[in-house]
Amino acid sequence: MCNNNSSDNPKLIGISPLYKDIGEIIKIENYKIVNPYKTKLKENFQLLIISKGYREKVEKINNYPIFEIKSATFDDLINSIIMLEKMNIGNKNKIKEYINKIIMEKNKIKSINYNKSIKINTNTEFIKKILIDLDLTIDNTNNNDNNNDNNNDNEKLLLIIPDYLNKNINYSNKIIINTHNYNLNTLNRIKDRYLQIIKCLNK
Domain segments of the chain: what residues? 12-93, 112-201
pTM as predicted: 0.86
**Measuring CA to CA, how many Å separate 176 from each of 18, 90, 140, 144?**
20, 35, 17, 20
Which tops the pLDDT comparison, 1 or 99? Answer: 99
The three-class DSSP label of residue 50 is strand
Domain with residues 12-93, CATH architecture: 3-Layer(aba) Sandwich (3.40)
Give dist(CA 26, CA 22) in Å, integer.
6
What Cα–Cα distance (Å) separates residue 18 from each residue in 15, 70, 73, 121?
A: 8, 12, 15, 28
Burial 70-101 (b: 16+ CB within 10 A, else e): bbbbbebbbebbeebbeeebbeeebbeebbee
Contact 68, 36 (CB under 8 A): no
Helix locations, the chain, DSSP H: 20-25, 55-59, 74-86, 92-110, 125-133, 148-155, 186-201
What are the tens digits of pLDDT across the range 45-103?
999 999 999 999 999 999 999 999 999 999 999 999 999 999 999 999 999 999 999 99
What confidence tens digit (pLDDT) does each residue in 115-171 have? Answer: 998 889 888 899 999 999 999 989 875 554 444 444 555 556 889 988 887 666 767
